[in-house]
Chain A
């Protein structure tokens, strides 16, 4: 639910698959004030001002996305100690998935890191197809367990 100028909020009311990696989501701008804290509405309701947005499927179906990623994790092998992700827009506003990968200390060595990261990224692209299936540009960040442990806060939890 997103705030909207003029006392309205966007409330997602439905979704429909429209194309590779995209989802048509109907948003209903609902009057939101003290008298109407829990508004009831429908698409036909006169209080609704509907907007139809096409958004990345990965943003609209996050539970399915999470399941798809969980299914890939066992394939990643022992060099991947942990994989988490965050959904966000990238520097130019494109919907993106930021994978945060903790590699083993062995795989994090200068001489090994490229082979290990190419393997991770190839697996994600082959099995998940982030852009084609989910409409998300994939980005990857890597850390070694030593680097991760040195952090005061686990910001990749």
Chain B
């Protein structure tokens, strides 16, 4: 695929010679910006970074440092924020999952680190609920794990976990997100069973922030390693993430990761990303989440109101803090309605400005988490036009 440059001024080959352009870099590149009502999703840019964080990243880019030293220092902030013994900066949640698996399979043993993802006959089974299977768990396999599934999408019994843990088990993995199928064992049971057998528990909590308390809840409940994204709710660099957990496991993850030559070497974390995550995390801990919540609540009200007169939609809003990082709006077609969710989504995406929403369970899913002030007006207009266009 070739890079399409539209409206590029002739003779602008040397960026240094040119005065800084007032046009957006995206406009210069001919890449459309979008309104994001899908939530903090990697494929549409993850999150928007605040000026304070960007300034720190710029500052970080002006000096050389020992990367391991910087990661250890930011790790202390992660540990303090999560209540864990130690913390570690990764290049995102997926890298966090791979390194968590590598830590549990290979530990900090240089020879075992070298052979991953071949576990070389060592215990490498990672027990996972069938209800928690998702495409990202490939990362556990990348880290040398072999997945052993327990339970069913809608039901799991304690004995299934007890029987699945053997001498070949390296870890038990757990997953939490607003869309997780409700068939897994309660986390307390998982910790109890795993710890009775001296097996660590890894939690993938990538996209569960805010609320702030979700930073601490898993460690508090006994998790040994917790994976978070840095580029979603925390609003750090999009390619940042964190691991929090027991010191011995964090040290093992570190030994498997960049800048060392293990399986994590390609999951490089830059000094700018480490510093950005540090500042974003501090900011996340002290910012006014209630004000954010109020903004997204207002946006929800406006979008809901814009649909209220329609007879071809059924609207359900979920405003509870517990499940989603921000309020969501579900819009389903009434029986006999002329519109199809996929067609409305595609029409909104093709519009100008392009508005991205999800389709789930036969309806539209509008997530307000990443809507900027004013985006809701554009979204409501785009949605109405798309619904009308379908008739």
Whether A and B are associated in the same complex: the answer reads no
Interface residues of B (CB under 8 A from A): none
